[in-house]
């Protein structure tokens, strides 16, 4: 189970940025053994907790905590009101910010390493039958240049509302440019929908942080994808075999998309 965390053992410092559902602060946590470890604390916006949401949130937290993998941000525990999620600190922050700051001066070896690490983290979620629902480079954190970790897995299911870059649908809001068409149309989430989002995150990496489908709204994106069978165009830095993988992940038929286990195997054998 998650560690019991007391507010008295938590010291909060500067803001690290605004993630989904609330602000994230750097902090230190004194564990039961007396060790003081650096943490990232996501302070959830009070309004996310409509009555009754809190209990299933606690269940989701247990599920998130049980998922331990090198490429997943570790959730230590939750505490306080407003609720704070005490997590592993990724000192270099969000991958999206790094991609944009480097102005295209990033070795493709790093991008290919990050892609494989995200595939490994997602394959772990898939094996544990856990959906992410909001995979994007804004939710991929950098521990070091050589190690990225996925954050916010499962949060979309744990919490109903979200901030404005999501479309409102059946109380759950989804980030439409990253979304699989079946999620946009009939709110179906699945590992195959996560695979679609994974390919959009790859597109972000090879585009050095460009916004997918920039300027288009959900229904325009859906029409291009469904009616005109259009897809995001290959970023100039994207190798042909990587773009082929993206296109397979963007198959209209979820059953035709590769699994994360398959993607990981492909990446490991094509290093």
Ligand X SMILES: Nc1nccn2c1c(-c1ccc(Oc3ccccc3)cc1)nc2[C@H]1C[C@H](O)C1
Q: Is 251 a catalytic residue?
A: no
Nearest to 169, CA basis, from 160, 178, 180 = 160
> Taking every pair of C-alpha atoms in the chain, what is the biggest distance, in angstroms?
60
In the complex, what is the shortest distance from the CB of residue 271 to ligand X, in angstroms, rounded to a whole number?
Answer: 28
In the complex, what is the shortest distance from the CB of residue 55 to ligand X, in angstroms, rounded to a whole number?
Answer: 17
The size of the chain, in residues, is 271
The binder of ligand X chosen from 24, 83, 99, 245 (CB under 6 A)? 24
262 is a contact residue toward ligand X (CB under 6 A): no
Would you call the peptide bond into 187 cis, given omega within 30 degrees of 0 as the criterion?
no
Region for residue 98 given its phi and psi (left: phi exceeds 0; alpha: psi -120 to 50; beta: otherwise): alpha
73 is a contact residue toward ligand X (CB under 6 A): yes
Binding-residue total with ligand X (CB under 6 A): 21
135 is a contact residue toward ligand X (CB under 6 A): no
The binder of ligand X chosen from 43, 44, 64, 123 (CB under 6 A)? 64
89 is a contact residue toward ligand X (CB under 6 A): yes
201 is a contact residue toward ligand X (CB under 6 A): no
23 phi, psi to nearest 5 deg: -85, 150
40/79 with CB nearer ligand X: 40
The binder of ligand X chosen from 10, 16, 106, 156 (CB under 6 A)? 16
The binder of ligand X chosen from 48, 78, 84, 87 (CB under 6 A)? 87
> Which contacts (CB < 8 Å, 24+ apart) does range 185-193 have?
185/222, 185/226, 188/254, 189/131, 189/133, 189/156, 189/157, 190/131, 190/254, 191/126, 191/131, 191/259, 191/260, 192/254, 192/255, 192/257, 193/131, 193/133, 193/254
17 is a contact residue toward ligand X (CB under 6 A): yes
85 is a contact residue toward ligand X (CB under 6 A): yes
The binder of ligand X chosen from 29, 98, 130, 153 (CB under 6 A)? 153
What amino acid positions are annotated as catalytic residues?
Answer: 134
Enumerate binding residues for ligand X (CB under 6 A). Answer: 16-17, 19, 24, 40, 42, 64, 73, 75, 85, 87-90, 93-94, 141, 151-153, 155
């Amino acid at each position: 189970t998650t560690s019991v965390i007391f507010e008295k053992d938590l010291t909060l410092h500067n803001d690290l940025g605004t993630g989904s559902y609330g602000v994230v602060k750097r902090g230190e946590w004194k564990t039961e053994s007396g060790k003081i470890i650096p943490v990232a604390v996501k302070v959830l916006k009070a309004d996310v907790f409509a009555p009754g949401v809190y209990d299933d949130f606690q269940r989701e937290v247990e599920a998130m905590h049980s998922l331990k993998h090198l490429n997943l941000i570790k959730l230590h525990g939750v505490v306080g009101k407003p609720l704070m999620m005490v997590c592993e600190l990724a000192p270099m922050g969000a991958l999206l910010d790094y991609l944009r700051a480097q102005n295209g001066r990033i070795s493709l070896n790093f991008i290919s390493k990050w892609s494989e690490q995200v595939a490994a983290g997602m394959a772990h979620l898939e094996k544990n039958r856990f959906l992410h629902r909001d995979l994007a480079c804004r939710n991929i954190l950098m521990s070091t240049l050589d190690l990225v970790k996925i954050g916010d897995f499962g949060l979309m299911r744990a919490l109903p509302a979200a901030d404005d870059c999501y479309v409102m649908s059946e109380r759950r809001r989804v980030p439409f440019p990253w979304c699989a068409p079946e999620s946009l149309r009939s709110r179906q989430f699945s590992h195959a929908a996560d695979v679609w989002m994974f390919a959009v995150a790859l597109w972000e990496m090879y585009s050095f942080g460009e916004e997918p489908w920039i300027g288009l709204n959900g229904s325009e994106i859906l029409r291009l994808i469904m009616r005109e069978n259009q897809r995001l165009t290959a970023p100039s830095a994207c190798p042909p075999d990587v773009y082929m993988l993206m296109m397979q992940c963007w198959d209209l038929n979820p059953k035709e998309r590769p699994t994360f286990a398959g993607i990981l195997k492909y990446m490991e054998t094509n290093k």
